[in-house]
Structure 1
């Protein structure tokens, strides 16, 4: 019976701790080359707020400047996430990358092309595919024709179509992948989902990943930090479960009771809605309180839960009425 592939370091931890080193660029270059169907060369890791390496940082993302096979240079943001509040978050992240890396005083024609690559450990919306690609297009309301660049604009921007100017989004939903690798890109998806690389895989970068991301090669200190990271991910998952699922169920029950009491005035439907909202707030507060007891700052709690700092502050201010 053949031995099963060795368990490797998870890609989110690799992004955070390993793949920012120039010596390991080949791994990310391989993944991006397979995803974008062009040879990618990483020029540098960009310093930005998105790349801060804080002790309590739960987000695993890296912004990199790259060059493709046509010598075009642009920015790719790669992030590995288990967040539930996400579609608006990737829009915000892209906008932030653009503004952070646009020098003051330069014309808008110098705005960098950004590609957002998002590796997701949860179901984002409804769909049966595991890789989604989003671009910006302008379609006429009357004739349904697509707006195109003029020849002057093509020369100015050095692109062929309008979509090339705007951010592109890749959403990789690992849960939807059936573990059958039909091509080299699928081999990467298999690794991202299972943290294993089969001996017959040939995708770019996977050979380097297999060597570099071997858990057994970690020092005792590195392995301890990695195990804590894995435990924290399990904790986050349970917190989201209690916040978004159990909290809603609890809210429905409270809402039914309150709806009965005030049903004559505003009806049971309104009562259930009030109860659901109160139940969700209560669950959010319970989650935030646990995180605070773990030593997390209000800023980190807001980032993890997908809320603003002001919303977290208001949530803690309302604890007397909710708990």
Structure 2
């Protein structure tokens, strides 16, 4: 009997297959809401996966290709980028993608009310150095520098550093996994032996049943 080969689950080709394929909107929505709920933000619903390619009209401009893009009925755009290696310059790339998606949403002369709220989620398989102790999940917004309770809720920039989750996941109980869906996703993405944690993941987060099925389908060929 042919055995499936274990692959790096943060491989961008696999993540596009898993979360960017029509029919897999429920998995994409669960992953996005896992990140949002980690900061107690309002969750999204009715995600529609759309073409992630932003082709430049000007040949001198960079072509912006993100891994996954989706929209909600209430005019929110979700963009997801997977990056396996890099450094702090990647933050500039995140800003570029956010800016490009804002600009592409409105034409000259159109009402600015059409501009969407951008939720940018970036899954990194390397650690960034912000000069502090390091955090597995950060979110940046436009805030009043004197009063952090006031913000312009136009963008959310989530940076999720998968490697910083490994130690947390190793110490997490089943109840903790059930309370924090992001932990289940990070446990899945960072797993080296999926078979050994399948039952735990499926019990902690029901969507993992379909996620694991898709993974097995992807690796069976």
Structure 2 residue aligned with 1:48: 53
Structure 2 residue aligned with 1:97: 101
The answer to whether the Cα contact below 8 Å between 2:20 and 2:69 also exists between their aligned partners in 1 is: no
Counterparts of 2:138 and 2:30, CA distance in 1: 19
Q: Which runs of 5+ in 1 are unaligned?
A: 1-5, 51-58, 149-161, 220-323
Q: Offset of 1:199 from its aligned partner? A: 1.1
Residues 134 and 34 (structure 1), Cα distance of their counterparts in 2 relative to 1, 3 Å cut: same
Counterparts of 1:99 and 1:216, CA distance in 2: 35
Give the TM-score, by structure 2 length: 0.72
Q: Offset of 1:8 from its aligned partner? A: 5.8
Q: Which runs of 5+ in 2 are unaligned?
A: 38-42, 56-64
Structure 1 residue aligned with 2:114: 110
Q: Structure 1, residues 114-149: CA drift from partner, whole Å, max 9, x if none? A: 01100111111143321111111123xxxx34685x
- Which stretches of structure 1, 4 residues or more, deviate above 6 A after TM superposition? none
Give the TM-score, by structure 1 length: 0.51
Structure 1 residue aligned with 2:139: 133
Counterparts of 1:21 and 1:31, CA distance in 2: 14
What's the secondary structure of 1:23's corresponding residue? Answer: coil
The answer to whether the Cα contact below 8 Å between 1:119 and 1:174 also exists between their aligned partners in 2 is: yes
Counterparts of 1:200 and 1:147, CA distance in 2: 38
Residues 204 and 107 (structure 1), Cα distance of their counterparts in 2 relative to 1, 3 Å cut: farther
The answer to whether the Cα contact below 8 Å between 1:13 and 1:60 also exists between their aligned partners in 2 is: no
Counterparts of 1:188 and 1:123, CA distance in 2: 18
RMSD: 2.9
Counterparts of 1:36 and 1:118, CA distance in 2: 12
**Residue 14 (structure 2) pairs with residue 14 (structure 1):** yes
**Residue 185 (structure 2) pairs with residue 188 (structure 1):** yes
The answer to whether the Cα contact below 8 Å between 1:120 and 1:171 also exists between their aligned partners in 2 is: yes
Pick 1 or 2: higher relative contact order, CA cutoff 8 A, min separation 6.
2
Structure 2 residue aligned with 1:163: 152
Q: Offset of 1:60 from its aligned partner? A: 6.1
The answer to whether the Cα contact below 8 Å between 2:106 and 2:114 also exists between their aligned partners in 1 is: yes
User: How many matched pairs?
Assistant: 186
Structure 1 residue aligned with 2:70: 64
The answer to whether the Cα contact below 8 Å between 1:34 and 1:185 also exists between their aligned partners in 2 is: yes
Structure 2 residue aligned with 1:27: 27
Counterparts of 1:66 and 1:47, CA distance in 2: 15
Structure 2 residue aligned with 1:86: 90
Q: Offset of 1:217 from its aligned partner? A: 5.0
Residues 193 and 146 (structure 1), Cα distance of their counterparts in 2 relative to 1, 3 Å cut: closer
Q: Identify, as 1 or 2, the structure richer in helix.
A: 1
The answer to whether the Cα contact below 8 Å between 1:7 and 1:215 also exists between their aligned partners in 2 is: no
What's the secondary structure of 2:70's corresponding residue? Answer: strand
Counterparts of 1:216 and 1:116, CA distance in 2: 26
The answer to whether the Cα contact below 8 Å between 1:30 and 1:204 also exists between their aligned partners in 2 is: no
Counterparts of 1:145 and 1:128, CA distance in 2: 24
Q: Offset of 1:176 from its aligned partner? A: 1.1
